[in-house]
């Protein structure tokens, strides 16, 4: 089939390349001219394991072209951002505009798939009114579905193949033709349903995780007060066959888990009390992290300390800083008048004032090193080499470093939730 993928970000690009690697002719579209140019030159504007090789193959064999405008195709896949506004309402303008952009190219028999995560009813209320402008009959001449992406950054290519997919169609035929298409490379099962159910399922999955993490964070703060190591306690509780408590940390980041619960809060504020509270709990963790560190330093009588923050990506081994709690951690230290320098070897451009590209600049004369992201490079750090710090204090918010190794190097080791 010929496929036009609108949006070449963390989801759109890997998906486009996968289809191109599996017998389809794919045209990728993005409004970001620089990204389009880079991808056309086989350069990556995002980091993802396995993407480079797959992109090289797709472009070399002519199965993948890119541009800033859609082209005619059998299938249109929309994978654009669906963020929240500062007032926590869903921003659906990208989805609406991307949908409108393909309308002039639609023909009888085409299929339009939305992959972006959206509040329930978006296909019905935002996409369909645009698609109707094509003059085609919905469900008989134009097939429309929502097949939400469910892959985890860092393991996108494994999960694209192995995960089950939820396929919501505006009618049965729309769902069926969508399943047939993804069958080109998906080995997981296809579960067909209607569009609104698919929208809700996707948002529910991420909300489940957010609420569970908030629960873990609450437990971490309680445990800290009563002198219990929450990491050990959660591990023990999870030996129960029906318990799966997530892990605490400095907050929840990314463009999904920290965002999607708000879609439900917006839909029904009265009924989404726990969901709302979970968001607030998780959003409060950066302040908790800064205060925890401030209290440790105060107890040691260290005045006017400099803080080195390691980790700006929203989670380990990725280069994505969107909604990263690290940014809030930096801000919380700044608010407390601490001198902060943050370093992350995966983030190659400086996105915030306090960022440096040199680990040494962050560490020099620092009184505490705060680990906010569990990158492998941080786990592998040799504490013996960190000789320029003023005080040997490390605060590990992810329980990811070896306590013994750091203690042996003379560090006082503190772990969030312990």
Task: List contacts with ligand SAJ (CB under 6 A).
Answer: 117, 149-153, 205-206, 209, 213, 246-247, 249, 252-254, 256-257, 314-315
Q: What angle (nearest 5°) sits at the alpha carbon of residue 372, between those of residues 330 and 351?
A: 50
Any alpha helices (H) in 300-396, and if so which ranges?
Answer: 325-335, 359-363, 376-379
Strand partners, 369: 308, 394
Distance separating alpha carbons of residues 139 and 152, to the nearest angstrom: 31
DSSP letter string over 180-248?
HHHTTT--S-EEEEEHHHHHHHHHHHHHHHHHHHHHHHHHHHHHHHHT--HHHHHHHHTTSTT------
Cβ proximity to ligand SAJ, 315 vs 341, nearer residue: 315
Q: Is 256 a known active-site residue?
A: yes
Q: Is 202 a known active-site residue?
A: yes
Question: Of the listed 256, 306, 315, 398, which one is catalytic?
Answer: 256
- Helix, strand, or coil (residue 153): coil
Torsion of CA 250, 251, 257, 258, to 10 degrees: -150
Phi and psi for 6 in degrees, rounded to 5?
A: -100, 115
Q: Which of 16, 81, 77, 25 is nearest to 51 (CA)?
A: 16
Question: Of the listed 34, 37, 202, 298, which one is catalytic?
Answer: 202
Polymer length of the chain? 418
Q: Which of 190, 149, 139 is nearest to 169 (CA)?
A: 139
Cβ proximity to ligand SAJ, 146 vs 392, nearer residue: 146
User: Which positions are annotated as active-site residues?
Assistant: 202, 256
């Amino acid at each position: 089939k010929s496929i036009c993928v609108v949006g070449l970000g963390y989801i759109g690009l890997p998906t486009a390349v996968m289809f191109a690697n599996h017998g389809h002719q794919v045209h990728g579209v993005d409004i970001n001219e620089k990204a389009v140019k880079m991808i056309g030159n086989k350069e990556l504007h995002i980091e993802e394991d396995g993407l480079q090789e797959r992109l090289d193959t797709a472009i070399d064999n002519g199965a993948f072209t890119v541009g800033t405008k859609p082209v005619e195709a059998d299938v249109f896949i929309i994978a654009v951002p669906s963020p929240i506004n500062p007032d926590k309402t869903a921003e659906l303008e990208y989805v609406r505009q991307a949908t409108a952009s393909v309308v002039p190219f639609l023909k009888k028999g085409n299929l339009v798939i939305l992959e972006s995560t959206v509040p329930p009813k978006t296909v019905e209320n935002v996409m369909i009114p645009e698609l109707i402008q094509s003059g085609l009959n919905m469900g008989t001449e134009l097939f429309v579905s929502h097949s939400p992406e469910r892959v985890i950054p860092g393991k996108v290519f494994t999960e694209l193949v192995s995960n089950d997919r939820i396929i919501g169609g505006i009618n049965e035929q729309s769902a069926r033709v969508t399943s047939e298409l993804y069958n080109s490379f998906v080995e997981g099962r296809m579960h067909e349903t209607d569009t609104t159910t698919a929208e809700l399922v996707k948002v529910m999955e991420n909300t489940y995780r957010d609420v569970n993490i908030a629960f873990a964070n609450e437990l971490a703060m309680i445990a800290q007060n009563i002198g219990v190591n929450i990491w050990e306690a959660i591990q023990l509780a999870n030996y129960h066959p029906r318990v799966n408590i997530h892990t605490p940390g400095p907050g929840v980041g990314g463009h999904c888990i920290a965002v999607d619960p708000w879609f439900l809060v917006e839909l029904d504020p009265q009924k989404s009390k726990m969901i709302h509270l979970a968001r607030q709990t998780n959003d409060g963790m950066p302040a908790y992290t800064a205060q925890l560190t401030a209290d440790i330093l105060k107890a040691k009588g260290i005045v006017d300390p400099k803080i080195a923050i390691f980790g700006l990506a929203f989670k380990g081994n990725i280069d994505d800083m969107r909604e990263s709690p690290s940014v809030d951690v930096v801000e919380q230290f700044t608010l407390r008048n601490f001198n902060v320098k943050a370093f992350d070897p995966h983030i190659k451009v400086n996105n915030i004032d306090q960022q440096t590209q040199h680990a040494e600049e962050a560490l020099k004369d620092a009184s505490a090193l705060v680990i906010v992201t569990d990158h492998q490079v941080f786990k592998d750090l040799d504490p013996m080499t960190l000789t320029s710090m003023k005080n040997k204090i490390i605060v590990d918010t992810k329980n990811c470093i070896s306590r013994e190794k750091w203690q042996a190097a003379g560090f006082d080791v503190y772990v969030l939730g312990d």
